[in-house]
Amino acid sequence: MAGIFPTTKWLAPRFGRNVDADKAARACRILEPTVVGGCFTDGIAVTRIVSHRGACRVAPENTIVSGRRAAELGADIVELDVRESADGVLYVLHDATLNRTTNGHGLISRMQSRDLDRLDAGVWFGPEFSGEPLPRLIDFLTELKPLLGFYVEVKAAAPCRLAAELEAAGLGSGCIIYSENDELRTVLRKTLPHQLHMVNYRDHPDIEDARAAGASILEFHSMDMTSLLISCARAQGFEIMMHTPRHDESAFRQALVAGVEYLNIDYPATALTLRREIQGA
């Protein structure tokens, strides 16, 4: 069980290429790798399935219909991306431009909300989704709150506006918050102290530093995660999220056996089937 993930791969950012596992373990303040979630009892929390951009493989990403479909397929949480319009309205959109996932063109940051509200964010994926709007964040949250929790990745938006919209939706706490931008993460933690702040291992390869940065959830890409790193993260009090966009049943299974708290994937139905098999829930 301790070897379900490679033990030394990706420790190089902190310990160098020729990794000594004992040295690495001592640096993480543990004597040896520990097995997390070797058996699933009532005391072990069930892994929560996070559907990346909604059910993005069967519906247009970052839309309300995609979120509803994710819930139908077994997701517990929907991951979404937030950007701001020129007039300060928050929208759910991954890219800086509108080109890929709407019938619009150009930077969202230069567009007015009155024009953004007229865009079609569904037809690019398939004609059956024609007319699906580019969702305002407040509409996305309000519509999906009865069905799902939220993992909000802030691409480019004022933290104070995000805080106001979460409060307006009755979500003053319990949402996962993340940004790839280090400075923005710092401001988000100060502006949203009651939310669950996440950091990716690639942002902070030194796990102690990641904890000192104020995060409570540490995300690993599937190729980065090892049993030793899981132990290090547990020792620092982190909840753990694993992410992969691939339909990688082996990675899903390994994460579920390891008992990670969150599985952030594009295939919620597969993850649900495996969770029922492995965790009985």
In the set 52, 197, 204, 243, the catalytic residue is 52
H/E/C letters for each residue in the chain?
A: CCCCCCCCCCCHHHHCCCCCHHHHHHHCCCCCCCCCCCCCCCCCCCCEEEEECCCCCCCCCCCHHHHHHHHHCCCCEEEEEEEECCCCCEEECCCCECCCCCCCCCEHHHCCHHHHCCCECCCCCCHHHCCCECCEHHHHHHHHCCCCEEEEEEEECCHHHHHHHHHHCCCCCCCEEECCCHHHHHHHHHHCCCCEEEEECCCCCCHHHHHHCCCCEEEEECCCCCHHHHHHHHHCCCEEEEEECCCCHHHHHHHHHHCCCEEEECCHHHHHHHHHHHHCC
Please confirm, yes or no, whether 52 is among the known catalytic residues. Answer: yes
94 assigned to active site: yes
Catalytically active residues, by annotation: 52, 94
